[in-house]
Protein backbone atom coordinates (compact mmCIF):
# COMPACT_ATOMS: atom_id res chain seq x y z
CA UNK A 1 0.00 0.00 0.00
CA UNK A 2 2.63 2.55 -1.03
CA UNK A 3 1.96 6.26 -1.02
CA UNK A 4 -0.79 7.17 -3.45
CA UNK A 5 -0.26 9.54 -6.33
CA UNK A 6 -2.73 12.26 -7.25
CA UNK A 7 -4.74 9.99 -9.59
CA UNK A 8 -5.62 7.31 -7.02
CA UNK A 9 -7.96 7.01 -4.08
CA UNK A 10 -6.70 8.36 -0.75
CA UNK A 11 -5.33 5.73 1.63
CA UNK A 12 -7.10 4.78 4.84
CA UNK A 13 -4.59 6.87 6.78
CA UNK A 14 -5.23 9.85 4.51
CA UNK A 15 -8.98 9.47 4.99
CA UNK A 16 -8.59 9.29 8.75
CA UNK A 17 -5.95 11.93 9.37
CA UNK A 18 -5.36 13.85 6.13
CA UNK A 19 -4.00 17.30 6.91
CA UNK A 20 -4.38 16.73 10.67
CA UNK A 21 -1.37 14.41 10.97
CA UNK A 22 0.48 14.34 7.64
CA UNK A 23 3.65 12.80 9.11
CA UNK A 24 1.68 9.85 10.50
CA UNK A 25 0.02 9.40 7.09
CA UNK A 26 3.45 9.44 5.43
CA UNK A 27 4.94 6.91 7.85
CA UNK A 28 1.89 4.66 7.54
CA UNK A 29 1.65 4.73 3.76
CA UNK A 30 5.28 5.04 2.71
CA UNK A 31 7.31 3.42 5.48
CA UNK A 32 5.04 0.83 7.09
CA UNK A 33 3.06 -0.37 4.06
CA UNK A 34 5.43 0.92 1.38
CA UNK A 35 8.67 -0.47 2.82
CA UNK A 36 8.23 -2.76 5.84
CA UNK A 37 5.37 -4.79 4.37
CA UNK A 38 7.27 -5.19 1.08
CA UNK A 39 10.43 -6.71 2.57
CA UNK A 40 10.95 -10.17 1.03
CA UNK A 41 12.11 -11.99 4.18
CA UNK A 42 8.49 -12.77 5.18
CA UNK A 43 5.51 -13.36 2.96
CA UNK A 44 2.50 -11.05 3.19
CA UNK A 45 0.55 -13.92 4.80
CA UNK A 46 3.24 -14.39 7.45
CA UNK A 47 3.34 -10.65 8.14
CA UNK A 48 -0.44 -10.60 8.48
CA UNK A 49 -0.49 -13.51 10.94
CA UNK A 50 2.24 -11.82 13.00
CA UNK A 51 0.33 -8.54 12.94
CA UNK A 52 -2.93 -10.19 14.02
CA UNK A 53 -1.03 -11.91 16.84
CA UNK A 54 0.63 -8.68 17.96
CA UNK A 55 -2.64 -6.72 17.88
CA UNK A 56 -4.42 -9.46 19.81
CA UNK A 57 -1.65 -9.75 22.40
CA UNK A 58 -1.58 -5.99 22.83
CA UNK A 59 -5.34 -5.74 23.25
CA UNK A 60 -5.68 -3.56 20.15
CA UNK A 61 -8.92 -5.07 18.89
CA UNK A 62 -9.94 -1.83 17.13
CA UNK A 63 -7.11 -2.34 14.62
CA UNK A 64 -8.10 -5.96 13.92
CA UNK A 65 -11.01 -5.11 11.62
CA UNK A 66 -8.61 -3.88 8.94
CA UNK A 67 -5.87 -6.42 9.60
CA UNK A 68 -8.10 -9.50 9.61
CA UNK A 69 -9.49 -8.54 6.20
CA UNK A 70 -5.99 -7.69 5.01
CA UNK A 71 -4.80 -11.11 6.26
CA UNK A 72 -7.49 -12.79 4.15
CA UNK A 73 -6.37 -10.77 1.12
CA UNK A 74 -2.81 -11.91 1.88
CA UNK A 75 -3.80 -15.59 1.83
CA UNK A 76 -4.61 -16.41 5.45
CA UNK A 77 -7.65 -18.64 5.73
CA UNK A 78 -10.51 -18.14 8.16
CA UNK A 79 -9.46 -21.37 9.87
CA UNK A 80 -5.85 -20.14 10.32
CA UNK A 81 -6.97 -16.80 11.74
CA UNK A 82 -9.40 -18.41 14.20
CA UNK A 83 -6.74 -20.90 15.27
CA UNK A 84 -4.13 -18.16 15.75
CA UNK A 85 -6.46 -16.19 18.01
CA UNK A 86 -7.47 -19.35 19.91
CA UNK A 87 -3.81 -20.23 20.45
CA UNK A 88 -3.12 -16.70 21.68
CA UNK A 89 -5.63 -17.12 24.51
CA UNK A 90 -3.00 -19.18 26.32
CA UNK A 91 -0.21 -16.64 25.80
CA UNK A 92 -1.91 -13.24 25.56
CA UNK A 93 -4.81 -13.84 27.92
CA UNK A 94 -8.39 -14.99 27.65
CA UNK A 95 -10.02 -11.52 27.63
CA UNK A 96 -7.79 -10.32 24.78
CA UNK A 97 -8.48 -13.45 22.76
CA UNK A 98 -12.23 -13.14 23.36
CA UNK A 99 -12.18 -9.49 22.26
CA UNK A 100 -10.16 -10.39 19.16
CA UNK A 101 -12.44 -13.34 18.35
CA UNK A 102 -15.51 -11.11 18.53
CA UNK A 103 -13.93 -8.84 15.91
CA UNK A 104 -12.89 -11.87 13.85
CA UNK A 105 -16.41 -13.29 13.88
CA UNK A 106 -17.78 -9.97 12.68
CA UNK A 107 -15.15 -9.55 9.96
CA UNK A 108 -15.07 -13.16 8.78
CA UNK A 109 -18.72 -14.10 9.09
CA UNK A 110 -20.46 -10.73 9.15
CA UNK A 111 -22.12 -11.29 12.56
Please, what are the domains in the chain? 11-41 (no CATH), 42-109 (1.20.1290.10)
pLDDT for 1: 45
Give CA–CA dist 2/83, Å, rounded. 30
pTM: 0.86
End-to-end CA distance of the chain: 28
CB under 8 Å to 14, separation ≥6 — which residues? 4, 25, 29
The per-residue pLDDT string of the chain (111 residues; one tens digit each, 9 = 90 and over) reads: 444 455 678 888 899 898 899 999 999 999 999 999 999 999 999 999 999 999 999 999 999 999 999 999 999 999 999 999 999 999 999 999 999 999 999 999 986
Amino acid sequence: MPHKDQNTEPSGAENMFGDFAPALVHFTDDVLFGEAWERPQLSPKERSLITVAALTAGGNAEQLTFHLQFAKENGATEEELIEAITHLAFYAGWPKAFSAMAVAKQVLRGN
